[in-house]
Amino acid sequence: RVAHTCLELMAQEAARYYSQQTAGPSPSAALQAVGMRVGEQLAERYSSEKPRLGDTLEVIKFICKEFWVAVFGKQVDNLRTNHRGVFVLLDNNFRWLQRLVTVQNAAGDMSSNHDTQLAALLHLQMPAGILCGALSQLGVVCTVEPEVKVCPACVFTIKVGL
């Protein structure tokens, strides 16, 4: 529980830090890069005692069940695929966005505000990088795109083989 909270708060602080930088890579690129490295290390740690995962679907299922629980504290709420290399992970109550919504609501109900969605999207760059790094470590080359419609629900679209 403590580790989940520390990781969550560190990610929020990183988003704030990179959004204030005037030089260097964009905040999104910087957060994704940090997330990639973290995801690679976490995937190595959480899969080290498991037999090698076979195909892409097996890896995605591992990410949705075991990895997601270890990193984000719960399973993915929904996994969809088109069976052509696109996987959509839905989390209806993503923990890393809960504090953001609380802060925004304390300033007035802005849960549907465009600014809140932009802030949420920035805060999802590191988790997207974590997913991409974990999948890369497990042998799946992909891109991960986060999306937010209504906080704290979010979607991660994984496109394999790109």
CATH for the stretch 2-160: 3.30.1380.20
How confident is the model at residue 41, as a pLDDT?
Answer: 95
How confident is the model at residue 147, as a pLDDT?
Answer: 96
How confident is the model at residue 22, as a pLDDT?
Answer: 87
pLDDT tens readout for residues 13-63: 999 999 998 888 999 999 999 999 999 999 999 988 888 888 999 999 999
How confident is the model at residue 162, as a pLDDT?
Answer: 63
DSSP lists the bridge partners of residue 87 as 81, 158
Q: Coil, strand or helix: which one is 89?
A: strand
Q: Please, are residues 96 and 8 in contact by the beta-carbon 8 Å criterion? A: yes
Model pTM?
Answer: 0.88
pLDDT tens readout for residues 94-151: 988 987 765 555 555 544 567 888 889 999 999 999 999 999 999 999 999 999 988 8
Identify the band that residue 67 occupies on the pLDDT scale cut at 50, 70 and 90. Answer: very high
Q: Which of 35, 1, 62, 37 is nearest to 123 (CA)?
A: 35
The token pair that represents 129 in the structure block: 């990088």
